[in-house]
């Protein structure tokens, strides 16, 4: 099963900056995450809540998924972040990103709090959740986390914090190791585990940000690795990273045309009682059609 909304790119934007939130609203990101956590100084956190409410309710966000990232719910700010922003923004908010998840408990806390707020406001519209997998404990529990509530839309691999939690030696926050020291992808295990858990739960898998915004090749390399494993998108911390993510996570027109042609040929063959069919030197059967349908589904969402 593939997720119902586009999540090729996400832009993390500090909720303390009205200027950057205005810029984010005008960007081409599929999702914008207005941050209350690590992108905001402790002294600015309380003020950022109302700035986020104003931005959500007054700016034109187009078709973007409008998300906020709250603080760790085991700390002093997290619960009030949920209450203040949800009660202030109401229908202008789509998703809450829960950081530093370790087990389903942190997700359930926000899930239950939202159920209460929605009951108070007689709201039938349900705000979604995304869980950041950025602690080693979360990776151990990722299969339980991914299926812990129907409110969960996605799990997101938070590479920066995860590197710190694991004690990995990366060249850049959100990047891999120095290729001279460790050829190969040090994140293959974590990414594979995350994408399998997400797919099994029927939700999206999203790769987290890459700090070196002056290194587009490094960003693209990480995005391609995640895309190849089956991730739906990658987040960024700078507007210049959005076009890179949109490009890597969108199929090209030739790929889409080929997928549609092969799927059609297979449907015609099936109607004639055949299980496999040859098209231009390629074999199409039920398994290959499943792969093609993934491409067609994303193309349909993009409107290609």
Minimum CB separation of residue 251 from ligand COA in Å reads 26
Which parts of this chain interact with Mg ion (CB under 5 A)?
134, 158, 161
Nearest CA-CA partner of 234 in 197, 196, 202, 195 = 195
Q: Contact between 14 and ligand COA (CB under 6 A)? A: yes
Q: Nearest-5° angle of CA 163, CA 164, CA 169?
A: 60
Q: Contact between 99 and ligand COA (CB under 6 A)? A: no
Stretch that binds ligand COA, among 195-203, 233-241, 250-258, 287-295 (CB under 6 A): 233-241
How many C-beta neighbours within 10 Å does residue 152 have?
23
- For ligand COA, the binding residue among 239, 243, 251, 270 (CB under 6 A) is 239
User: DSSP assignment of 38-96, as one string?
Assistant: TTS-GGGHHHHHHHHHHHHHHS--TT-EEEEEPPPTTSSSHHHHHHHHHHHHGGG--EE
Q: Contact between 23 and ligand COA (CB under 6 A)? A: yes
Minimum CB separation of residue 223 from Mg ion in Å reads 18
- For ligand COA, the binding residue among 7, 8, 15, 20 (CB under 6 A) is 20
Q: Nearest-5° angle of CA 67, CA 71, CA 74?
A: 135
Q: Three-class SS of residue 133? A: strand
- For ligand COA, the binding residue among 209, 225, 242, 244 (CB under 6 A) is 209
| Contacts with ligand COA, residue ranges (CB under 6 A) | 11-14, 19-20, 23-24, 35, 38-39, 209, 237-239
């Amino acid at each position: 099963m593939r997720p119902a909304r586009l999540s090729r790119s996400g832009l993390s934007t500090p909720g303390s900056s009205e200027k950057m939130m205005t810029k984010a609203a005008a960007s081409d990101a599929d999702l914008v995450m207005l941050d209350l956590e690590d992108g905001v100084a402790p002294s600015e956190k309380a003020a950022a809540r109302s700035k986020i409410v104003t931005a959500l309710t007054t700016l034109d966000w187009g078709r973007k998924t409008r998300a906020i990232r709250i603080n760790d719910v085991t700390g002093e700010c997290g619960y009030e972040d949920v209450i203040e922003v949800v009660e202030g923004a109401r229908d202008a908010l789509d998703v809450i990103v829960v950081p530093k998840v370790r087990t389903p408990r942190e997700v359930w806390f926000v899930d239950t709090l939202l159920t209460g707020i929605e009951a108070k406001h007689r709201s039938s519209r349900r705000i979604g959740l995304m869980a950041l997998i950025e602690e080693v404990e979360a990776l151990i529990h990722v299969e339980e986390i991914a299926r812990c509530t129907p409110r969960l839309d996605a799990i997101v691999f938070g590479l920066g914090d995860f590197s710190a939690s694991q004690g990995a030696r990366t060249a850049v926050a959100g990047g891999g190791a120095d290729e001279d020291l460790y050829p190969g992808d040090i994140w293959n295990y974590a990414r594979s585990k995350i994408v399998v858990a997400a797919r099994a739960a029927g939700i999206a898998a999203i790769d987290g940000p890459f700090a070196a915004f002056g290194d587009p090749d490094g960003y693209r390399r990480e995005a391609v690795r995640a895309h190849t494993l089956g991730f739906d998108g990658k987040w960024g911390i700078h507007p210049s990273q959005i076009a890179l993510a949109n490009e890597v996570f969108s199929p090209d027109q030739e790929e889409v045309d080929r997928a549609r042609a092969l799927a059609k040929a297979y449907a015609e063959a099936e109607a004639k009682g055949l299980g496999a069919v040859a098209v231009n030197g390629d074999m199409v059967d039920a398994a290959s059609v499943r792969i093609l349908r993934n491409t067609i589904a994303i193309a349909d969402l993009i409107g290609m």
